[in-house]
Chain A
């Protein structure tokens, strides 16, 4: 919302400085976004007097002028047709920046003769479009600053323009009067109140105006008057200046009047050319399909139920949003119908959104204009039109009646103290509300009709606090919940997530945060990309679906890094993945991705391509950090994004999958343009059982002082036999004695033959009661061999 300082002062009697006003506006919640102080731009221009002017010897159109300035006589070459002896002019001396031509003046030679400055036109100083000649001032002393002359003689030209952000709850501040009211309530001056000088009706118009019964809820009141014999044309200078200053182009007086009241009083109006209106005006609901060419020259098709103003020819105006071109005013208009109506904010909002029209009228009606001001605004406009453009006014038409929005809330002075924590005497509170237009009756505050946002006693508190200034609020400690040391606040799952992040980072992974949405094709590679996870209005096709997993985003990140010349990386993300489009159809995931080599090539020969056992180790470490049980099953048969033979599901039983590690399917890598291979793991933290609440006690450590013994075995088994089967079999040979079984070698094929491998294990025996004798060891060894043979069909390697 833009307005000028002088416009504000038509509503506010004040001596406050511009800075004070700006501070108060922001503090009141009318945040100043920009101030254009045009005087500042023109500060260096001074007044001069052309003592003499002679034709340039080498140029017919140039005059060589001797100009008296604050720095004495200066020679200035000027090409303006009106440059001549004896006029008072505005001078830009060398070094002065001229905004209209974006140039800093220098000393120059024009056709061989030196020039020490410039005499400016209005356009050159951004004052208007006027550029037929240089400015000739009717008065002014040599050497005075031009801005001072303007301030005294033509203040509108140097009027500061203030732009403030209006929050949606303050439609009243969409009119300059409303802004003035806030400032007056703050104590920055006195609100000027003006009466309405109603133009007397001199004839009766026979147009009739009606509102359909089913439209009264959207248009409770519709007023209008006909004015005959107006002379349309350019607006008076003050009006043109005011509109131009706030960025509106003056069009014609009749149109400018509606714009003026829109900004002055938040009262959108519409002026029909009465000669183009056929028959009577009717406010009703569209049947659907009606077409109308609006004032923006675009054709709109109305949907059933939207409100429209029609004459006998059909739809003429999109009610409350934009008038129709057919019945709009032109320069030739002589008879008009001036309309002022109240439109329901909700209905205007929906219609405006559906038709995608952003107009000043929609913007204001959907936030809420003052219903009681509907007929008053009309009378003010009719008065302005008749006074300037002449004509005679008809009687007032009014269909429907002004809706009753009166309501009262109890002012509880103590509530301000309780809610805001500020001590404001009750008398001040009452004074504030009165200044804002509330009427106090005992402790009941009647809400003014221009404040649709006030809907409860908390709003009264807000008004009082806002005017008193929240900046002055003093902080007060929030009492602790308990005396003493604060209790921990995080849940076990939250702590798990923190542990996961730090553990994975400690394993050398860089944490990423990627977008929750991804392209359909990438989502589909991970069993997602269905319509249930599709966005209705994605920002681009790259972000069309909610991600079914974290890996596609990490793989895309890997591709980007590869494109930047980084081949080796370890990335991870902790985040939400989506299985559907309903609230709750989302789950927490942790994914890690290894691409390239374990490190850069080095002289120690330790760098190698990443493999499945890297991600297996990392997945196990992260699971351990989350408190997952150490004893798990490794199963196969995960989704298609994994290499069919090179992945494992870490499970607690066939249905309970804690995580998957493995090689990403080469087809996925190809589709996502990644140089593979790539290893990854994904964990489901919510699947990990919570530890039973046993307290912090770790239990007693049982250790034996007797020496442990290790024995190695090698078994020849079919290549498909899984190591874990063998290990479990060996471990089961004597659960009391065997403390651990570890695979330390694998040898496939070669001399063993096709499809056969050898697995070597170390079995660690930990005696508890007595040192092991050879016979004991042999007995256990025999049992290990027996168990393994039975479980795997293998034989001890000779």
Chain B
């Protein structure tokens, strides 16, 4: 029996491939194999002999079977290894191309701004880009003769011969949305109105279209101190800094009273803007308490309600935060610019995850 074992284990160890292995299996533990033949001989043995020979034969069978199995998997491994050796690829070849899209910085920043103000309870209002001169000017306390009208470089729509209404305008600011929103919802209200605005001006810092976000909060007891807090919180959150100094400078806008221009403390060291440190001041927006006449124009009783409004340039704060040098390039759609300054589709700005990467 030991001979049998040595013979087959030796054969198994030397088998070259699976076919040979199968032949060995048949010869050894197949139905007509040597081990089977030996098993048949058990019947002729005395019970005593059988008691030792039986288990021994079974053990032999098991041993051969597991040797076969081990060899088989060894052979398969070797065959696989051999195949894989021939399957070498130059992995430095370029990957399959996949187009990568981007979001425009204006869209991204608009979402950032919305996320911050939404947290403070501001909804998003929208309005038309072509508007009447009443909504764009008169309702905002800018009567026809007001110098601000001439200073705003307004685009006017063409009027057909015989149509003697004052020409419609391309909104020069997002402020007319304030009026439309007040008309629609009344007070109290908290809204921001982001969107494109137009002024007839084109040079290296002006484009005839740009983007603003307007903010409006009306309630019984909202004060300019609340405005300052809202803007401080906004600036900290938007520029992602812990502290920022904000300076309110008295100014004038026809639609607010008192009015203030808002500067933030910054430094421009090495040509990079750092918000919240340094000795420079950067003007970022105009604001004030809504003028009683504007509230009236929006159908809100100024004796009962008061509130603040502010407006800032989306393109401008995008340039400041992301270091984009030229406003004109925003509207040029140069693929290189879109890819460099654009944002990934899944970079959704959130307050929980952070606004920027």
Q: How near does chain A come to B337, taking the closest CB pair, in angstroms?
A: 9
Residues from chain B with Cβ under 8 Å of A461 in the complex: 257-258
CA–CA, A346 and B131, complex, Å:
23
Residues of B within 8 A of A512 (CB): 104, 333, 338
- Given contacts A471-B248, A536-B159, is CB(A505)–CB(B103) below 8 Å? yes
Contact A516 B260 (CB under 8 A): no
Docked pose: A574 CA to B130 CA in angstroms: 18
Contacting residues, chain A, for B102 (C-beta < 8 A): 505, 510-511
**In the complex the two chains form, what is the Cα distance from A672 to B211 in whole Å?**
27
Q: Which residues of A contact B330 (CB under 8 A)?
A: 513
Contact status B333-A571, CB under 8 Å: yes
Scoring B residues 105 to 148 as 1 if CB is less than 8 Å from chain A, else 0, what string do you get? Answer: 01100010010001111111010111110010000000111111
CB distance from B108 to the nearest CB of A (A): 9
Cβ-closest chain A residue relative to B199:
A539
Q: Once the chains are docked, how many angstroms separate the CA of A3 from the CA of B152?
A: 26
Per-residue interface assignment for chain B, residues 133 to 177, with 1 indicating a CB less than 8 Å from any chain A CB and 0 otherwise = 001000000011111101100011111100000011010000000
Chain B binding site: helix, strand, loop or mixed by DSSP? mixed
Partner of B147, one of A367, A476, A533, A535: A367
Contact yes or no, B339 A510, CB < 8 A: yes
Q: Judge whether B259 is part of the interface by a CB distance below 8 angstroms.
A: yes
Which of A29, A488, A569, A575 has most chain B Cβ within 10 Å? A29
> In the complex, what residues of B have CB within 8 A of residue A488's CB?
118
Closest B residue, CB atoms, query A182: B250
B229: A residues at CB distance < 8 A: 475-478
Give the chain A neighbours of B289 by CB distance below 8 A: 419-420, 458
Q: Is B157 within 8 A of A534, CB to CB?
A: yes
Q: Would you list which residues of chain B between 191 and 225 have a CB under 8 Å from chain A?
A: 196, 198, 200-202, 208-209, 217, 221-225
Beta-carbon contact of A515 and B331 below 8 Å: yes
A-B contact pairs, 21 of them (CB 8 A): A29-B249, A31-B249, A31-B251, A347-B145, A349-B147, A421-B228, A470-B248, A470-B260, A478-B222, A489-B118, A508-B98, A511-B103, A512-B333, A535-B155, A538-B155, A539-B200, A554-B333, A560-B334, A571-B333, A581-B130, A599-B97
Q: How far is the CA of A607 from the CA of B98 in the complex (A)?
A: 10
Query: A28 in the interface, Cβ–Cβ < 8 Å?
Result: yes
**Cα distance A507–B103 when bound, in Å?**
11
A366 to B149 Cα, complex, angstroms: 12
- Which of B41-49, B53-61, B65-73, B342-350 touches A? B342-350
B225 touches A476 (CB 8 A): yes
Top 3 nearest A-B pairs (CB, nearest first) are A421-B225, A508-B99, A475-B229
| Contacting pair B148 A535 (CB below 8 A) | no
Q: How far is the CA of A486 from the CA of B122 in the complex (A)?
A: 10
Question: With A and B bound together, what is the CA distance between A533 and B245 in angstroms?
Answer: 45
Q: A535, A569, A585, A603 — which one has the most chain B CB atoms within 10 A of its CB?
A: A535
List residues of B whose CB falls within 8 A of some A CB. 93-94, 96-104, 106-107, 111, 114, 118-124, 126, 128-132, 135, 143-148, 150-151, 155-160, 167-168, 170, 190, 196, 198, 200-202, 208-209, 217, 221-226, 228-232, 246-252, 254, 257-261, 289, 291-292, 306, 330-336, 338-339, 342, 344-346, 348
A583-B225 in contact (CB<8A): no
The distance in angstroms between the C-alpha atoms of A422 and B225, with both chains bound, is 8
Q: Does A509 contact B (CB under 8 A)?
A: yes
How many A-B residue contacts, CB cutoff 8 Å?
283
Do residues B250 and A535 form an inter-chain contact, with CB atoms below 8 A?
no
**Given A170-B252, A570-B101, 17 extra CB contacts under 8 A:** A167-B252, A346-B144, A366-B145, A453-B252, A458-B289, A471-B249, A473-B248, A477-B226, A486-B121, A503-B345, A507-B101, A510-B102, A515-B208, A516-B129, A516-B209, A582-B168, A583-B168
A466 interface residue (CB < 8 Å to B): yes
A600 at the interface (CB under 8 A from B): yes
Q: Known contacts A420-B223, A476-B229: does B145 contact A349 (CB below 8 Å)? A: yes
Binds B, one of A266-274, A494-502, A633-641: A494-502
A504, B225: Cβ atoms closer than 8 Å: no
| Cβ-based interface call for A345 (8 A) | yes
A557-B333, A603-B93 known; A465+B225 contact, CB < 8 A: no
Asked if A456 is at the interface of the complex by the 8 Å CB criterion, the answer is yes
Chain A CB within 10 Å — which of B99, B111, B221 has the most?
A: B99
Residues of chain B within 8 A of A584, CB atoms compared:
128
Evaluate contact between B101 and A509: CB separation under 8 angstroms. yes
CA distance A73 to B327 in the complex (A): 57
In the complex, chain B residues whose CB is within 8 Å of the CB of A494: 124, 126
In the bound assembly, the distance between CA atoms of A583 and B291 in angstroms comes to: 25
B99 contacts which of A586, A599, A603 (Cβ < 8 Å)? A599
Q: How far is the CA of A657 from the CA of B158 in the complex (A)?
A: 30
Contact, CB under 8 Å: B196 / A576: yes
* Interface residue A774 (Cβ < 8 Å from any Cβ of B): no
A535 to B206, alpha carbons, bound, how many Å?
19
A771 at the interface (CB under 8 A from B): no
The interface residues of chain B lying within 8 Å CB-to-CB of A459 are: 257
| Bound-state Cα–Cα, A504 to B102, Å | 9
Encoded as 1 (CB less than 8 Å from any B CB) or 0, chain A from 512 to 531 comes to: 11111100000000000001
Residues B208 and A462 in contact, CB atoms below 8 Å apart:
no
Q: Nearest CB to that of B224 among chain A residues?
A: A420
Per-residue CB proximity of A584-596 to B under 8 Å, as 1/0?
1110000000000
Q: Confirm or deny: A578 has a beta carbon within 8 angstroms of a beta carbon on chain B.
A: yes
A491 at the interface (CB under 8 A from B): yes
Query: Inside 8 A of A536's CB, which chain B residues have their CB?
Result: 155-159, 167
User: In whole angstroms, what is the CA distance A546 to B208 when docked?
Assistant: 13
The reply to whether A462 and B257 form a contact with Cβ atoms under 8 Å apart is: yes
Bound CA span A382–B122, Å: 60
Interface assignment of A152: CB less than 8 Å from any CB of chain B: no
Please tell me if the beta carbons of A561 and B333 are within 8 angstroms of each other in the complex.
yes
Answer whether residue A169 sits at the interface, using C-beta atoms and an 8 A cutoff: yes
A539: chain B residues within 8 A (beta carbon): 155, 200-202, 208
Known contacts A505-B345, A576-B196: does B94 contact A346 (CB below 8 Å)? Answer: no
B209's partner among A515, A578, A600 (CB-CB below 8 A) is A515
Contact residue among A473, A504, A583 (Cβ-Cβ distance under 8 Å from B228): A473
Other-chain residue from A29, A349, A458, A510 in contact with B291 (beta carbon distance below 8 A): A458
Instruction: Tell whether A105 is near chain B: CB-to-CB under 8 Å.
Output: no
Q: Which of B129, B342, B346 has the most CB of A within 10 A?
A: B129
Shortest beta-carbon distance, B235 to chain A, in Å? 11
With contacts A462-B257, A511-B101, A599-B99 taken as known, whether A418 is within 8 angstroms of B342 at the C-beta atoms is no
In chain A, residues 309-329, which have Cβ atoms closer than 8 Å to a Cβ of chain B? none
Given A474-B225, A582-B168 in contact, is the A168-B97 Cβ separation under 8 Å? Answer: no
Contact with B along A183-214 (1 / 0, CB 8 A): 00000000000000000000000000000000
CA distance A418 to B304 in the complex (A): 12
What residue in chain A is nearest B198 (Cβ atoms)?
Answer: A516
Which residue of chain B is the closest to A478 with respect to CB atoms?
Answer: B226
**Are A581 and B158 within 8 A (Cβ)?**
yes
For B231, give the chain A residue with the smallest CB separation: A475
A693 at interface, CB cutoff 8 A: no
Which A residues lie within 8 Å of B155 (CB)?
A: 535-539
